[in-house]
Structure 1
Amino acid sequence: MEITAGSYEFLEDLERYLAGHPGAPVSGLKAIVAAGLHHDQLETRFADALASPGRSHPGYRAVLARQAATRANVESLLAGQRLDALLYPSALGRPPVIGAENIASNCRLSAGTGLPAIAIPAGFTVRGLPVGVELMGAAFSEPRLLALAHGWEQAAQPRQAPLSTPPLVNGQPPATQSGSARIAAGKAGATLNWRYDPLNARLTVTARVTGSGQHAPVALALHRSSDGKPGPVLAQLLGPGARSGQADLRLDARARADFAAGRLYATLHTTGQPLGAGRVILAPR
């Protein structure tokens, strides 16, 4: 657990806030936790808060002194280098899926120094994951920070429409797409049927294979090609001994672009040709 001023302040401040609302059904964090009114993601944080010694602990004064020194160093850097703001990533990892643990935030310098900051979208990775940055300035520099953020927004246009709101087709959402493909490799073969929903980027592929002996299928995999060359596996449709299989995928931005451009393909592997007996492209019509 990172020790911050808030670690010492939260419990007392929440009790003081609730005391100012006589109609509140709880008096503090202890009552909230005892009644089970907190979210699972906050359990560890609240347990740490309940164990906090409060503002009277010597550690609190040490944290305040460290924050004051940090603020002085930041202000000296801004003034000495004649900077309007400091720019840094707002997060230190990929955005988590809903329900997963939060990633480490990188926006604590403002909270620890009391200096103003604004987080803004910076764009997307090749896989369509959002990237953000934070601008932090000197005391009372909010107008300048807002101007910088607005200027970036107008110049970069970093926003993208969500996947679930694609362009309409004749006033209607785009329809689900489907297709089939066949791999014929001597006495071995594979038949694939796929279905793609553009509203949620869900690609479902079912497959059946034939062959025996040296032509017995040992694997059927879905790949992404790169510049027309063999590329990595996105999903294994079936393995040794199986005659049918299925993959249910949610395509990220890169995989969606590859699918639309005809860069997704399936490869059949057999006993006699373990490196690949045949392949076929999967692409929308």
Structure 2
Amino acid sequence: MTDPTELTDGADLTALDLLCAVPFHDADAPARAAILRQLADTELHAALVADAAGDVADLRMFDLPGATVALAADDAAVLAGFLGGPVAHVSLPGRVLAAALAAEGRGLLVNPGRRSEMLLDAAALAWLGQALAVAPDAAEAAPRRLTQPRPDAVAALADPLARRLSDMAGRIAGGALVGADWPDGRQGHLLAIEGASADDRPALAKALAELLAFLPEIPGGVDVTFQPLALPAGALRIEPAPPAPAPAPVRRDPHAPPRLKW
């Protein structure tokens, strides 16, 4: 395969590329988990044998030593460039493509020639599916005592939680991570989410459960609550980053010729 540290001249870095400063297969376990989580949320363009007919798409498969894989990229131009010209493709979320391939015992080659190149066998895709299938506990047990979060939990969770909560800007007011002692004797952590509507809570809880499934295991676990809490001293406050301002409208020259569309 192509050296994954090489980039096509002038190519823009995608979200997957930015996570792969170290090539995927050389990265440590937490970094690989973060890359796979991004892959699940990324729209991938997968090569087809021919244009889709209705709702049926026949993935183009490639035989590699020890595996049969589909080919996909997070930029359709990258896919066409790798195959030497325009190619029929289908665009769908990474999680959907991974689940379909894992069910057939097939693998996936992603972004060949990019710094985010990765070759995922059926076992890796099945692991991804299992992590994405995690469901949050609907129980809202009250902790016996709230404490300052442990330093190891802050080190592991602060940055990923900040990024995920920023994705939720406009749907939540913020969040806080605290230590929690539970009535059953368990000592873990609790993520308190503020300002979420009742309708949004199930989807937000699922998104946070998925995030936690890809992070290093925190002793005692991390629970999520949408109930207001009296935060203890030392609680880790996490505020969503404000959304980027909308770009200023481009004023078109009224004397310019019309734009043509095909």
TM norm structure 1: 0.24
Structure number with the higher strand fraction is 1
**RCO greater where, 1 or 2, for CA within 8 Å and sep 6 or more?**
2
